[in-house]
Each structure stands twice: as structure tokens, then as C-alpha cells.
Amino acid sequence: MSIAQSDKLFAGSIPALYEKYLAPLIFEQYAEGLAKRLAARKPARVLEVAAGTGVLTRQLVALLPDEVAIVATDLNQPMLDMASGIGTVRPVEWRQADVMQLPFEANSFDAVACQFGVMFFPDKSQAFAEIRRVLKPGGVLLFNVWDRIEENEFAHAVSCALEAIFPEDPPHFMARTPHGYYDIEIIRQDLRNSGFISAPLFETIAARSIADSASIAALAYCQGTPLRNEIEMRNSAFLDRATQAAENAIAARFGHGRIDGKIQAHVVEVEN
């Protein structure tokens, strides 16, 4: 498996661990804010891309009127299976789809939303162009991306800890992909290259990531993300050892028992 394939593979036990540990750790606090921004636009039909296990989807369902149609897509069917299994209080259309080639007609959505998924797109400008194609004139693309890894304390601690386990070839998934698309000027240029004419709006939002223990945070990152794939590509027997090293690093920095670390992300809004 190549690094490119590994980075976007959410399969096996990853979806369940992602939903149980990572979603409350870093995703839920941003999902409500993104959904509120979208609700203020009063869309009639919404497309969500890279929906994952449905963290944002459930907030959209909670905040948008019942008559608003929501189509939630993801590249990884196991993530959609987890999302649809959890369910929503009203119907959502769950559909496997690649953002690089969306299976929808042009001008068919009032809004497209993406919660921490843009970083995984192999060609950002092409993905934005495809999103723009399915947006109606005047429609909006609303997404968020993580800021640099140094501004996200648990992820940074985990990444540093793994450098000691694999000194010759450390896994850099966290810095490379989830925290690899933080430069606002690059994002602005990619949107421009894709055909968006309107100037995008950016807001950087800091929040707190809280876990009941360092063990939970380490498990979330090392086994609930594709970082697990990268660890096992180096040595499949080292997964538990790597997770323990991450736990020790987090506990050394943030203490034992309930822990609290900074997270930070950019929210981006651009009209078609």
C-alpha cells in the first residue's frame, strides 16, 4: 500500500474507534459551529462531502428545517456504514462518492459542506472545481481545515512520540495530511484556480480538546485514524507499543486523569 492510499483508508476497526474516541475529542465542537453557519444561509438542498461517521451530518439534521434535503457522501463505505448505522432523526441520503468526480448534475445544490475532509483531497483545485460544478449560482461552499500541527497539542505530542519509536522513518501522517493544509494563501489560490471568483472568508477558531485520560487520546489518534495504517506498514507488531508511547508523551505533558489541550482550525466560506 502506498502512502497516498494509506492516508485516505478508513477501514477495519478505524471507523468505530474514530466515532467513539476521536469524534468527541476534536470534531464535535467544530461541527455545531459549521452547521450554524450553513443554517444561516437557508439552503434548500445540501451536499456534504467527506462526511465520515456523520458528526457534521447529525448537526445539520438538528439545525436545518425538515424540508431541507441532505445528501451525505464519503469515499470510504465503512465510514458511511458507521454513520448510517448511528442514524439520524430524519432521513438523510447516504451515498458513497469520490469528490474528485461527484455523481451529481451541475447546479444541483444550494450549499456544499465539508468537515475536516478537504485535507485528504489528492488535488484540491480539481476537487473545488467539481464542488463548484454541482453548486447553484450563488451557492456556498463551507468547510474547515486544521491549522498547523504545532497549534494542535495532542496531535503534535503523538507525532513527536512516534519519532522515538521509528527514528529512521517516523510516521508523519498527522503533520502531512490532517495538519498539512493550513496555509490560508494556498487555500485561497486553490479556490481561485478552481474557478471560484468570490473572495473566500476565513476565520481561525481555537478550542479545547478534552479527554478523560491520556490513554483515550492516544488510542483516538493512533488507532482511530489512518495513522494506524502507517504504523502497521512499518511494523504491524508495534501498534500497541506506539500507542503506549503516545499515551506516555501526552501524560508527561498534560498530566494523568482528565486532560485538556488546545486545538485550532480555519473555517472557510466561499460563494459560487
Q: What is the pLDDT of residues 62-86, one digit of tens each?
A: 999 999 999 999 999 999 999 999 9
pTM of the model: 0.95
**β partners of residue 95:** 73
Closest CA to 98 of 50, 46, 45: 50
Q: What is the DSSP pairing of strand 259-271 with strand 45-48? A: unpaired
Quick: pLDDT tens for 157-208. Answer: 999 999 999 999 999 999 999 999 999 999 999 999 999 999 999 999 999 9
Helix (H) or strand (E) holding 134: helix 124-134
**pLDDT value for 63:** 97
Burial 198-220 (b: 16+ CB within 10 A, else e): eebeeeeeeeebebebbbbbbbb
Q: How far apart are CA 160 and CA 172, in angstroms?
A: 9
Picking from 123, 118, 116, 126, the residue whose alpha carbon sits closest to that of residue 56 is: 116
Residues 6+ apart with CB under 8 A from 21: 216, 217, 219, 220, 224
Give percent of the chain with pLDDT exceeding 90.
Answer: 93
Convert the pLDDT of each residue in 254-271 to its tens digit: 998 999 999 999 999 999
Asked whether residue 37 carries a pLDDT value surpassing 80, the answer given is: yes
Stated length of the chain:
272
Q: Where are the beta strands (DSSP E) in 19-77?
A: 45-48, 69-74
Alpha-carbon distance of 220 to 225, in angstroms, equals 7
